[in-house]
Structure formats: C-alpha cells, structure tokens
C-alpha cells in the first residue's frame, strides 16, 4: 500500500498567514478605538466621583473650619477619605485630573496624557454638567457630553 500522508504546501501556509494578517488588520484599530472609548468613559465617571465628593465635603464640613466650602484640591478630598488614592494622585486611566475650588464654587478637568489614551478633554463644575473639548482646555462654555 502506497504512503498517502499529505503535508501542507508552502502556498497553503502562505494563504493561512495572509488571512490571519487581514483579520488582524481589521481588528487592531477596533480594539484601539474600544480602549480609547473606555478611557474616556472612565474619565467622565471619575469627574462625577469628584463632584459627589465635593458635595459631601461641603455638606459635611470635612475640613472642620465651620464654613460650608468646597475642597480646593484633589489631594484634600483624598486626605479626608472622600475619594480613593488612585484619583487622589490625580491620574487614572491615562487621564490627568485637576481641581480648584473656593467657598462657593469649584471646577475640575480631566485631560488625556496623549492622543492614544483619549481624544477629548473633560470639565465639570458646581453645576454638575460634564463638558468636553476636542482640542484645548474645556470650560463652562464647552459642549456638554451627550449632545
């Protein structure tokens, strides 16, 4: 009986490798886009956490100065335990966060560390409306998210 074992030809192997390369070239940009979207969603959620912490700080008079004022930094919110240490360091999911506050108002921003992390920068203030900018620093007059 003749030996009928047949192997893979070089042409067949090249076709399989080509198909894998084509599939990878389709999927890699989608994965990158998904990661960017997840980072932006995390940044929005972090700004909402900061907003909640500011309300709790003010209403609880957490700095014990007998004035109902807002925290003036992320570190101050972290030091009284209203936000976790990750946010307290000012960086999460590739975004840098900053906060400035006074007795009657506050504002916080989240900006991506580079274009691979996120395409939008975000802003929130005493009103609780999250706003964004595609370039530059967002402010109270930037477009709100969802529009």
Q: Which residues of 131-146 are buried (b: 16+ CB within 10 A; e: fewer)?
A: bbbeeeebeeebeebe
Question: Mean pLDDT highest for which of 2-6, 38-42, 115-119?
Answer: 38-42
Count of the separate structural domains present in the chain: 1
| The pLDDT value given to residue 123 | 97
φ, ψ for residue 130 (rounded to 5)? -85, 130
Does 58 fall in a domain?
yes
Integer Cα distance of 94 and 57 in angstroms:
26
Q: Are 145 and 44 in contact (CB under 8 A)?
A: yes
Average pLDDT, the chain: 89
| The pLDDT value given to residue 31 | 82
Does 5 fall in a domain?
no
Does 4 fall in a domain?
no
Q: In what order do the strands lie in the sheet with 106-112?
A: 91-92, 95-101, 106-112, 121-125, 131-133, 143-144
Q: Which domain holds residue 113?
A: 10-144
Specify the pTM: 0.79
Q: What is the CATH number of the domain that holds 40?
A: 3.30.700
| The pLDDT value given to residue 33 | 87
The model's pLDDT over 28-69, given as tens digits with 9 standing for 90+, comes to 888 888 899 999 999 999 999 999 999 999 888 766 677 778
Does 126 fall in a domain?
yes
């Amino acid at each position: 009986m003749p030996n009928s074992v047949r192997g893979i030809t070089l042409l067949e192997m090249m076709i399989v490798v080509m198909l894998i390369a084509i599939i990878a070239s389709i999927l890699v940009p989608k994965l990158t886009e998904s990661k960017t979207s997840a980072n932006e969603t995390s940044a929005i959620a972090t700004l909402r956490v900061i907003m909640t912490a500011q309300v709790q700080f003010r209403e609880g008079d957490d700095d014990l100065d007998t004035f109902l004022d807002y925290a003036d930094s992320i570190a101050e919110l972290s030091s009284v335990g209203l936000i976790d240490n990750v946010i307290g360091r000012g960086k999460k999911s590739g975004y840098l966060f900053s906060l400035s506050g006074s007795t009657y108002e506050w504002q916080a921003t989240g900006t991506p560390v580079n274009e691979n992390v996120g395409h939008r920068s975000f802003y929130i203030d005493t009103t609780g409306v999250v706003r964004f900018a595609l370039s530059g620093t967002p402010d109270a007059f930037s477009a709100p998210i969802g529009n």
